[in-house]
Structure 1
Amino acid sequence: MANIKDIARLAGYSPATVSRAINHSGYVSMAAQTRIDGVVAKLDYAPNEIARDLSQGRTANVGVVVPHLNHPYFTQIFNGILTAAFAAEYNVVLLQSKYDADLERGYLEQLHRKAFDALIFTSRAIPLGTLKRYQKYGAVVCCENPGDESLAATYSLREPAYQQAFRWIKAQGYRRIALTLSRSDELSATSQLTLATYRCVFGELPAPELLKTAVTTFQDGYVAAEQWISQGSSPEFIFSNGDDIAAGIRQCYRDQRMMVPPLMGQENQLSGRLLGLPTITHHFQRVGQAAFDLAATGEIKQIPIPAELILR
């Protein structure tokens, strides 16, 4: 395979002149440019983009760590990152983690080895302190409130919208309220916040039989509703963690020819709009765009984006 030295020998110019001509990075006379272009065409030479990027100290690659794409939280954030990255001419590499801490550490080591300019963690299993230690190798961005950790972060500011939602539900006179969550509060900061806000408004946590975790899809919502029906513990109101999930719950009640409890979704999905469900939009597309901006600039700061309650 030909290299710059081969082109320089055949063209009769120095490797530095050949490099400038190929990369259009400095002055080259018209005669030299024409001669070098001819040799490049004859040898069918193409620059090694990876080597060139590394020599310039960048890869134009941003890795995005996601546990899965079964919930709109991840798909909307990822789409926001893609939109911003495309405009900035960056490549985005999807890195599935399945909440496996070893996989996540492996991606951080790839950052250390310069496979990426930056990593964006949409969610994580490893401690925030571990992310912080790798900032010296490249930008590391998390999509959650990092608290006291000095990390680049952007996230949906959920609590005010959750407070509004639970106060509205309480004002309607509902007391036996069911919740669906993606993960348990032991593993998820979002679940912790949801339950803490619920307790703040209602003075207690929901009854254990009304709380369902590992719910991320339409089918998961359907199964949760089946369990409530079979247990005879049908709630007065259901606060779900996604409009598609709420649609699954609704469909189960309809299939059983039972009255559908009032529902609230999240993420302002098409299903919720078609069904006229009240919802909370967390503006995750904007979170993704802000996450990319932090990854591209390397700036260490926190950008909260307020969530919004939509009543229908």
Structure 2
Amino acid sequence: MPTIRDIARKSGYSVSTVSRVLNQQKYVSDAAKEAIEAVIKQLDYVPNSLARDLSFGQNKNIGVVLPHNDHPYFNQLLNGIMDAAFSSGYHIVLLPSEYNRTVERDYLEQLKRKNFTALIFTSHELPLAVLEDYTRYGQIVCCENPGQHHISAVYSNREPAYLAAFNYLKSLEVQQIGLLLSRNLAKSPTWVAVTGAYQQIFHQKPDQQLMIGGMRSFEDGYRAAEQLIARQPALNCYFTNGDDIAAGVRQYHLDHQLPVPILIGQEKQLSSLLLKMPTIDHHFFTLGQKAFELALSNQHHECAFESEFIRP
């Protein structure tokens, strides 16, 4: 692949003169410009746009750190980011992480090297303190409440919707509730919010035997129902982290001639509409749009959206 030095050598002009032609700058004679452009055409030279942007202190890449895309949370958030970025002139670069700390830190190091204008962490494994430390090198946006950490953030205020959902279940006088969530880690913000709301309403901790993490899909919900029914055959109520997951639970009960359980989903997917099932809308598409907006800002901002419990 030809370089700017090859053009200079073949045209007989200096590298700086070739550079001025490539960047459409002044102070180049017509004769020099014509000769250099002829060589560029002859060598089929294509400029390195990334190197050029960096030389001018510019970068049009926004990195989106994405653990996976197997859950509607990430899909809806990413759709919002893409929608906001479409007419901005910026490029969205997807950065898969699988919650690997080494991979996440490498993306932060790339921000430090100016490979990205900003990073949006849809979720993460590294402590927020580490993310905060890298804000000196560029804008970082996290999609959760950053608490005391000085990081720009956009997130859903989920507690009111979770409280409303558990109040609804309490009004139905359910005795036990299966909790199907994403990461079964005490440090997961969703896990903490759900179990905290449960305790406020029922004045006790959830039954650990009726809690399963790692839920992403219809198939996960189906398998989780099988596990929980084996542990508690009378279980007939599930709070899940996705409408499709709840649909998987329902299908397991139907396939095994069990009564259709009381179900609450999340993310306002098509399945909750078709099954007339209660759900929680966290407005993740709007969050994604706002996350992109914050990524372009040089200022520290936090923006919270109220989640909504929806009964059919």
Note whether the superposition's TM-score is higher than 0.5.
yes
Q: Which moved more, 1:112-121 or 1:239-248?
A: 112-121
Shift of 1:184: 2.2
Are the counterparts in 1 of residues 268 and 279 from structure 2 also a CA contact under 8 Å?
yes
Q: What does residue 3 of structure 1 align with?
A: 4
Distance 1:12 1:107 in 2: 39
1:163 aligns with 2:163: yes
Q: Is the 8 A contact 2:8 2:15 kept in 1?
A: no
| C-alpha deviation, 1:7, in angstroms | 5.8
Residue 195, structure 1, aligned to residue 198, structure 2: no
Cα RMSD for the two superposed structures: 2.5
Structure 1: segments with no counterpart, 5+ residues:
none
- The correspondence of residues 127-206 of structure 1 with structure 2, limited to 5 A, is 127-206=127-206
Q: Which moved more, 1:225-234 or 1:146-155?
A: 225-234
Q: TM-score, normalising length from structure 1?
A: 0.90
Aligned to 2:92: 92
1:136-180 C-alpha deviation (Å, 9 max, x unpaired): 111111110000111011111111111121122222332322211
CA gap of 1:5–1:200, structure 2 versus 1, over 3 A, is same
Equivalences for residues 297-312 of structure 1 within 5 A: 297-312=297-312
Give the aligned partner of residue 213 of structure 2: 213
Q: May I ask how many residue pairs the two structures share in their alignment? A: 311
The correspondence of residues 20-39 of structure 1 with structure 2, limited to 5 A, is 21-24=21-24, 37-39=37-39
Matches of 2:15 and 2:124 in 1, distance apart?
50
Query: What is the Cα deviation at residue 21 of structure 1?
Result: 4.9
Checking the alignment, whether the CA contact within 8 Å between 1:218 and 1:244 is kept in structure 2 is yes
Q: TM-score, normalised by structure 2?
A: 0.90
SS at match of 1:297: coil
* Aligned structure 1 segments of 4 or more residues deviating by more than 3 angstroms: 4-16, 18-40
% identical equivalent positions: 46
Q: Distance in 2 between matches of 1:190 and 1:214?
A: 12
Query: How far did 1:279 drift?
Result: 0.4
CA distance in 2, matches of 1:126, 1:84: 27
CA contact (8 A) 2:243 2:264 kept: yes
Aligned counterparts of 1:306 and 1:79: Cα–Cα separation in 2 = 19
The answer as to whether partners of 2:236 and 2:259 remain within 8 angstroms in 1 is no
* 1:62 has 2:82 as partner: no
2-side partners of 1:14 and 1:127: how far apart? 46
Q: Name the residue aligned to 1:76.
A: 76
Change (3 A) 1:13 1:216: closer
Q: Secondary structure at the match of 2:89?
A: coil
Secondary structure of the residue aligned to 1:144 is: coil
Distance 2:276 2:139 in 1: 41
Name 2:267's counterpart in structure 1: 267
Aligned to 1:239: 239
Amino acid paired to 2:167? R
Alpha carbons of structure 1 residues 260 and 37: separation in structure 2 relative to 1, 3 Å: same
| Equivalent residues of 2:218, 2:248 under 8 A apart | yes
Q: Aligned letter for 1:272?
A: S
